[in-house]
Structure 1
Amino acid sequence: MSETGGVREVKSAARTVELLEVLAARGDRPARLQELADELGVPRSSMYALLQTLISRGWVRTDVTGSLYGIGMHALLTGTSYLDSDPRVRAVRPYLDEASQALGETLHLGRLDGRHVTYLATRESHEYLRTISRVGRRLPAHVGALGKALLAERGEEELPEGPYEALTPRSHTSRESLAADLTEVRARGYSIDREEGVTGIVGFGFTLRYDSPVRDAISCSVPVARLTPEHEGRIVAVMREIRAKIEATAPGTGGAPHWRR
Structure 2
Amino acid sequence: MMTQALGEFIGTLILVLLGDGVVAGVSLNQSKAKGAGWIAITLGWGLAVTLGVYAAAFLGPAHLNPAVTLGFAVIGRFPWAGVLPFIIAQVLGAFVGATLVWLHYYPHWAATDDKAAILGTFATGPAIRRPFWNFFSETLGTAVLVFVLLAFAKGKWTDGLSPIGVGVLITAIGLSLGGTTGYAINPARDFGPRLAHAIWPIANKGGSDWGYSWVPIVGPLVGGVIGAGLFVLI
Structure index of larger Rg:
1
Is the shorter-chain TM-score for this pair beyond 0.5, marking a shared fold? no
Q: TM-score, normalised by structure 2?
A: 0.25
Higher percent of residues as strand:
1
Q: TM-score, normalised by structure 1?
A: 0.23
Higher percent of residues as helix:
2
